[in-house]
Amino acid sequence: MGKLTRLSTEDRENLAAYLDGELDENSTRRIESVLTSSEVARNEVDVLAQTYDMLDLLPRPRAAGDFTEKTLATAKLTEYRKPLTQHQWFRSARKGAIFAGWGLALLTAGVVGYSLAFRWIPRQDDFLLQQLPLIQKLDVYVETGNIEFVKELSAQKQLLKELQGSPVNDPK
């Protein structure tokens, strides 16, 4: 007695297609060569063929009258497109746009607030810049020692003009 050859897993999976005549030529030749050389393989094919014969003896169920309508309705539902608002990516994009809008609004409010505060709220440096002429001549005013003298001097416009043009009084 010869060596027993068994069907490979791939060939065993193709047995149903072989019995139905659905295999290509190469696969059909391969299974037939194994069947001619192996009694175990022939036995497996016989068992499978008997199983198919027994299935043919079972009563065939009848489909309900509305089966066709339900199947067609289901097929039409698969063709139905959801509105954009029901897609997950749209909802995520919408949330992202809302967060981006709020972020932009907060950033804009911050920039406007900073700009207004920078321009309208006086700083100590601004006050010093306004008083720069006084600060430059502070040494001269301190030497006078009396504010009354400065007031009398400021009343005499001609004398002030002469003093301002004179390089002797310039503290620089």
Q: What phi and psi, each to the nearest 5 degrees, are found at residue 3?
A: -70, 140
C-alpha 43, offset from chain centre = 60
Q: Is the pLDDT of residue 105 over 90?
A: yes
Q: How confident is the model at residue 99 (pLDDT cuts 50, 70, 90)?
A: very high
Residue recorded with tokens 């004398």 = 159
Sign of CA dihedral 118, 120, 123, 125: positive
- Of 75 and 33, more confident: 33
Q: State yes or no: pLDDT of 46 exceeds 50.
A: yes
pLDDT for 133: 83
pLDDT at 112 over 60: yes
At 166 the pLDDT is 57
Predicted confidence (pLDDT) at residue 102 exceeds the cutoff of 50: yes
The Cα–Cα gap between 124 and 120 comes to: 13
Q: How far apart are CA 38 and CA 4, in angstroms?
A: 6
Burial 74-106 (b: 16+ CB within 10 A, else e): eeeeeeeeeeeeeeeeeeeeeeeeeeeeeeeee
3-state secondary structure of 68: helix
CA-nearest of 23, 8, 19 to 48 is 19
The 8-class DSSP code of residue 65 comes to T
Provide the whole-model pTM. Answer: 0.34
Pick 80 or 87 by higher pLDDT.
87
Predicted pLDDT at 100:
96
Residue 75 scores a pLDDT above 80: no
140-169 confidence digits (pLDDT tens): 777 777 777 767 767 777 776 776 765 544
Residues 7 and 34 sit within 8 Å (Cβ to Cβ): yes
Rounded percentage of the chain residues whose pLDDT exceeds 70: 85
Can you give the pLDDT at residue 92?
92
